[in-house]
Amino acid sequence: MAENQYTEDNIRSLDWKEHIRLRPGMYIGKLGDGAAADDGIYILVKEVVDNCIDEFVMGNGKRVDIKVKDGMVSVRDYGRGIPLGKVVEVVSKMNTGGKYDSKAFKKSVGLNGVGTKAVNALSSYFKVYAVRDGQMKSAEFSMGNLVSETEFISTTEQNGTYVEFIPDEQVFKKFAYKTTYLEKMMWNYCYLNRGLSMYYNGEKFQSKDGLKDLLENNMDGDPLYPIIHLEDEDIEVAFTHGRTYGEDYYSFVNGQHTTQGGTHQSAFRESVAKVIRDFYNKNYEASDIRQSIVAAIAVKVIEPVFESQTKTKLGSIEIEPGGKSMRAFVNDFLKDKLDNYLHRNPDVAETIEKKIKQAERERKELAGIRKIARDRSKKASLHNKKLRDCRIHLTDLKDIRRENTTLFITEGDSASGSITKSRDVNTQAVFSLRGKPLNVYGLTKKVVYENEEFNLVQAALDIEDDLDNLRYNRIVIATDADVDGMHIRMLLLTFFLQFFPDLVKRNHVYVLQTPLFRVRNKKKTMYCYSDEERRNAILELGKAPEITRFKGLGEISPDEFVHFIGEDIRLEPVLLSKEASIDSILSYFMGKNTQERQDFIIENLRVVKDKAADDGKEHTELEVA
C-alpha cells in the first residue's frame, strides 16, 4: 500500500476570499437555507447592519434602511460613510478597518474587521458605495473579486454607506429569507438603540423604552407584576415573572443578540437569585426564584471576547480588559438597583415572594413523582428501544458540535425504521412514539412525569432541569402527511408549547416536510411536495409518467428517504409571531369544541375530487387560506 506523502506540495497558502469560501462556517456559522434563525444568510445581513449600528452608537446617523427582495439585500445608513479612499480595501482586504482604533469604536460588536469581507466573499454579487461631503466612491464584486470601481464622483446624496448583495447559491443552496426572522432582528436592534429608526421594506421599527418594550412585545400573556426596568452605565436589565414554565432570557452584548447566552447571562441568573435571597433574608432555592422568569439583559463591554465569529455566546470574564469581573459588575448593579426597587415597591416584592413559594410547593410535590419517572425511564431502556441516539452522544465525540445535531420524533415502527436506516448516524437521532400522545392542554407539569411517552421524550432531550442541557439543536417532528399525522403533530406541539415554550421561542422545533408524490419516467425521478409541484413535474416529464402518492413515511424506502433528511432536507420552523399568545393558540386548536373552531371548520369545509388518485374518488378537505 502506498504511503501518504507529506511534502511541500501539500502546503497551501490561500488568499482571504479563498479561505472564507473554503471554510465559511468559521465566519458565519452554519450555512442552511434560511429555515433556521441562525443560518448564515441572516448572519450576512447582521454583519452589514452591525456596521450601521456602530455608526449610530458613535452619534452618526439615526436611520437605517434595509430592503430584502428576491434574495437581494440592500442596507443604507446615514452615518459618516467609509473614507472614500478606503472603500475597496475595507470590504476586500483582511486586517483593514476602523475597528482596530479602540477610541473610535470603544464598545463595538466587531473587532476584527472580518464581517463585511465575509459577506463579500460569499456573495455572487456585492456592491458598496460611500458618500462623504458631496463625493461618492463605489465598487462591485463577485465572490470577493473586484469587478469594477468608480473614481470619486459628485453627488447630492446624504453622507453614509450603502451595501447590496446576493448570497451565492453555490454556498447557500435554495435559500430564502424568512420575514419573521428579519423582523425580529430589526426589533432587537431598536430595543437596544433607542432613538434609532429602522425601515425594513418600508415598515418602520422604533423603540421608546428599550428592553421593557422587548419583554412587553414578546411575553406570552400578562406578567404577574409590572416589568422591572433598571439601567446604569453599560448595563440595562428588564425582568418579570410570567405564567409559563421554565426560564426565558434575552441577552445582548454591544447590541449583539447572544442567543447562546454567556458570562453576562450566567452572572444575571446567579445575581438575581442572590439579591432576592438577601432581600427576603431566606435561603430560597435559586430554581424556585427563577421559575417562570422572563428577563432581558444588555451590557456594553470593551473588546468583548466571543466564542466564535458569529458572536452568539459571550466568553469575556471581565467588563473590560483588566477591569471588574462580569459577575461582580452585574451583582453590584442588581444589589443596588434591584434591592432599592423592591424596597420602594412592596406590592411587587410581595407578589415575587408568593410566586417563589408557589414554585417551591410545586417542586416538592413533584419530587417523589420525578424520582419514580426517572427510574421508569431507565427501566424502559431509553437508549436501546425508544431512542436511537447519534454518535455524538453515544461516543461523546467532541469534534462534532451540538449545533449540528437533530432528533426526529416519529410515530410507528415503519416510519422510524425508514428514518433510522437513512439518517446520518453521527448527528441524527430518532425517537419512536407509540400511538397518539396525550392532549396536555390545560394540564399541569405533573403529567409529564406520569405519562410514559412524554417522560421519555423529556429524558431523551435532557430538558427536565435546564433547557441549556438540550442534547439536540433541532427537534424535528416527522409525521405522516395525513389526518392522523397532522393530529400527532398538533399533540406534540401542544406538549412543547405547554411545558417547554422556550424550545419554540429559541427556534429549536421544526416540522419535517416530506414529498407527497413521486413522478417519474425511465430517465428521471422527481419528488413533489405539493399539487403544484406535481403538475409541473408531469408537464416536464410528459408522456404519462408514473405517479405515486406517498401516504405515510413508512412507504418511502430508506434509499429514497436519505434524500429528504440529508443535504436537501426541507424543514418548516415552528414560529410564533410577535402578536401570538400561546394560551390563545392552544385554546383554539386543542381546547374543548369551541364555537370559534366549529365555525371555522364549517366555513372552510369543501368536497374535492382527488385528481392524483387512480380511482378518482371524492374526499373532503379543509381549505385554509
Q: Which residue has the higher pLDDT, 578 or 489?
A: 489
Count how many domains the chain has: 4
Quick check: is 528 in a domain? no
Average pLDDT, stretch 4-31?
Answer: 72
Quick check: is 4 in a domain? no
pLDDT in tens, 164-184: 999 999 899 889 999 989 999
Residue 622 has pLDDT above 60, yes or no: no
My answer on whether 266 and 226 are in the same domain is: yes
Quick check: is 542 in a domain? no
Global confidence as pTM: 0.76
The domain boundary, picked from 328, 363, 398, lies at: 363
My answer on whether 449 and 326 are in the same domain is: no
C-alpha to C-alpha distance for 391 and 83, rounded to whole angstroms: 51
Residue 611 has pLDDT above 70, yes or no: no
Quick check: is 567 in a domain? yes
**What share of the chain has pLDDT > 70, as a percent?**
85
Average pLDDT, stretch 277-282?
Answer: 94
Task: Measure Cα distances from 233 to 1, 237, 299, 329, 546 in Å.
Answer: 67, 11, 9, 11, 68
My answer on whether 573 and 619 are in the same domain is: no
My answer on whether 455 and 313 are in the same domain is: no
Quick check: is 500 in a domain? yes
My answer on whether 412 and 298 are in the same domain is: no
Residue 308 has pLDDT above 60, yes or no: yes
C-alpha to C-alpha distance for 123 and 66, rounded to whole angstroms: 17
568 closest CA partner among 507, 522, 512, 520: 512
Q: Which of 82-91, 115-124, 303-312, 506-515 has the lowest average pLDDT? A: 303-312
My answer on whether 283 and 351 are in the same domain is: yes
Residue 609 has pLDDT above 60, yes or no: no
My answer on whether 32 and 178 are in the same domain is: yes
My answer on whether 201 and 222 are in the same domain is: no
Residue 8 has pLDDT above 80, yes or no: no
Contact between 185 and 47 under an 8 Å Cβ cutoff? The reply is no
Distant-in-sequence, close-in-space partners of 472: CB < 8 Å, separation ≥ 6? 402, 405, 406, 407, 429, 461, 508
pLDDT in tens, 34-57: 888 888 999 999 999 988 988 888
My answer on whether 577 and 602 are in the same domain is: no
Quick check: is 525 in a domain? no
Q: Which residue has the higher pLDDT, 368 or 2?
A: 368
The domain boundary, picked from 177, 205, 233, lies at: 205
My answer on whether 223 and 192 are in the same domain is: no
Quick check: is 168 in a domain? yes
Q: Which of 7-16, 66-75, 133-142, 526-535 has the lowest average pLDDT? A: 7-16
Residue 615 has pLDDT above 60, yes or no: no
My answer on whether 250 and 300 are in the same domain is: yes
pLDDT of residue 104: 45
CATH number at residue 135: 3.30.565.10
Residue ranges making up the domain that contains 444: 380-514+550-582
Quick check: is 3 in a domain? no
My answer on whether 577 and 597 are in the same domain is: no
Q: Which of 34-38, 105-109, 470-474, 519-523 has the lowest average pLDDT? A: 105-109
C-alpha to C-alpha distance for 439 and 495, rounded to whole angstroms: 8
pLDDT band at 365 (very low <50, low <70, confident <90, very high): confident
Contact between 240 and 218 under an 8 Å Cβ cutoff? The reply is no
